[in-house]
Structure 1
Amino acid sequence: MKNIFDFRQAEAQIKFNQWNEHSDAVVILGVETTALHCPEIIEISVIDTSGNVLFDSLVKPKGEISEIHRITPDKVADAPTFPEIWPALYNILKDKLVLIFNADFDHGAIVNSLAYPAEINQARGLNTACVMREYALLYGGKWPNLAEACGNPTDHRALANCLATLEIIKSCHDPSFTEEDLKRVIAYEEIDQLSRRIRSISYQIAELVEEQQELLKRQKEWYKQYVLGIEGTKDEIAVTTVDPDIDDDLPF
């Protein structure tokens, strides 16, 4: 079991465990897009956690294709458009947790590739999770790219992206870390936060006591000098005890 002391790290570990242990409920999706800005899907694949291919298709986009992968315009010239494949794809995704390495980008590209409001709403309603985010939380540091996380170069194809993401998910599985361990980490973090708060309150109390003492000294000085008409040094005033019923004798 990894040494896990951080709540977010612990939560990430539990998610990886759940993804591996409840494999019937999840699928893994990968895409390739026209560009990084306003992307459209040009290839999309879906696999299950055993690596079985559930969907794999090139897609003909509306816009131009940039040179960030090996998919050229001639390869997608006769491919279906994304709205044409969407009904079949949506039937695979709609009741699953869809694991995507870079979920924000890929999910956004799916939405951007659709045309009709009903289909766009379907896409927006998909239940997705970002593998890259949870990986970064589990191991700390910056969010890695796919090749960094899986430890191997990728060839910028949708199915290869799915398989690399699956490899990451499986490598992060740690069944020795349980829900009870997560509860323990939460308890330690709560204890630490409470301890910090207690120390902070203690410092505030000390400051308030110090301020209170100074105010009491000033109160005695003003009372003796201007109410009782007694003048003396500050030291004499400071050691003088104020009558507990002082407030009843004040003329204001």
Structure 2
Amino acid sequence: MDYVAIDFETANANLTSPCSIGIVRVYKNEIYDEWYFLINPNEPFSDFKIMIHHITPDDVKDALTVEKIWPQIFELLNNQIVVCHNADFDISILRACINKYNLPKPNIKIACTLRLARKLWKEEVYNHRLNTLAGYLGVELDHHNALSDARVCYYIINRGLRMYQENDLESLYAKLGLKLKGGL
């Protein structure tokens, strides 16, 4: 089965403050399409978050809000396996925005590349952070750029598929004793 890898960056500590999303659609284990959206969170930015992702209020002042961009995001996620690194965080952002703005819930299954990486490389890396894994895999990462982070999720899965000679994410998960989580 194909999947969609996503990553959010937020303007502040609030889960309802996404300021960017990267989306990578994977078809037959190859990157098929990619999207990067700046989002106007209509919330203040913290200096700490700006330092991390370098997105400023000026960058998003003309960007669409979550409610306006949601139809596109919904269409990309609905009826898909949604993959994130540390999925609890990114899925919490989805849930918080859906609840705050009363948005339609996409029908999704959830996979976490952090959990997957911990199974694939228990001792090969000193931690399982995205930047560490990108270095280990030899792939480029513009860390905290949402599209680049989502792309690294693809590379983690792709390497796991090759290591275990599996053809799809669900089979790889089953082989490693992992389970996809139910929807939102």
**8 Å contact kept, 1:150–1:165:** no
Q: Does 1:116 align with 2:101?
A: yes
- Using the TM superposition, give the Cα deviation of residue 77 of structure 1 relative to its aligned residue in structure 2, in angstroms: 0.4
Q: CA deviation at 1:30?
A: 1.7
Aligned-pair identity in percent equals 25
**Which has a greater percent of helix?**
1
Match of 1:48 among 15, 25, 30: 25
How many equivalent residue pairs?
157
Which structure has more strand as a fraction of its residues? Answer: 2
* Matches for 1:144-183 after TM superposition, within 5 Å: 144-151=128-135, 153-173=141-161, 174-176=163-165
For 1:131 and 1:170, the matched residues in 2 are separated by 11
Pairwise CA distance, 1:150: 1.6
What aligned pairs does 1:176-191 form with structure 2 within 5 A after superposition?
176=165
User: Which residue number in structure 2 is paired with residue 58 of structure 1?
Assistant: 38
Q: Give SS of 2:83's match.
A: strand
Q: Deviations over 1:13-41 (max 9, x none)?
A: xxxxxxxxx3xx21111221123454521
Cα distance, 1:176 vs. partner? Answer: 3.8
Instruction: Decide whether the 8 Å contact of 1:40 with 1:110 is kept in 2.
Output: no
Q: Structure 1: how far apart are the matches of 2:119 and 2:13? A: 24
Could you list the runs of 5+ residues in structure 2 that have no partner in the other structure? 178-184
SS at match of 1:164: helix
- Residue 105 of structure 2: SS of its match in structure 1? helix
In structure 1, C-alpha distance between the alignment counterparts of 2:9 and 2:142, rounded to whole Å: 12
CA distance in 2, matches of 1:136, 1:169: 12
**Is 1:139 equivalent to 2:121 in the alignment?**
yes
Q: 1:32 maps to which residue?
A: 9
Relative distance call for 1:35 and 1:116 in structure 2 (3 A) is closer
Q: 1:196-244 CA distances to partner (integer Å, 9 max, x unpaired)? A: xxxxxxxxxxxxxxxxxxxxxxxxxxxxxxxxxxxxxxxxxxxxxxxxx
**CA 1:175 to 1:145, structure 2 compared with 1: closer, same or farther past 3 Å?**
closer
Flag structure 1 segments of 5+ consecutive residues without an equivalent: 1-21, 187-252
Name the amino acid aligned to 2:130. Answer: L
2:61 to 67, 70, 77: 77
The Cα shift of 1:116 comes to 3.3
Higher RCO (C-alpha 8 Å, min separation 6)? 2
> SS at the partner of 1:110?
helix
- Normalised by the length of structure 1, the TM-score is 0.54
For 2:101 and 2:14, how far apart are their aligned partners in 1?
21
Aligned-partner SS, 2:156: helix
What is the TM-score of this pair, normalised by structure 2?
0.72
Distance between the aligned counterparts of 2:143 and 2:74, measured in 1? 26
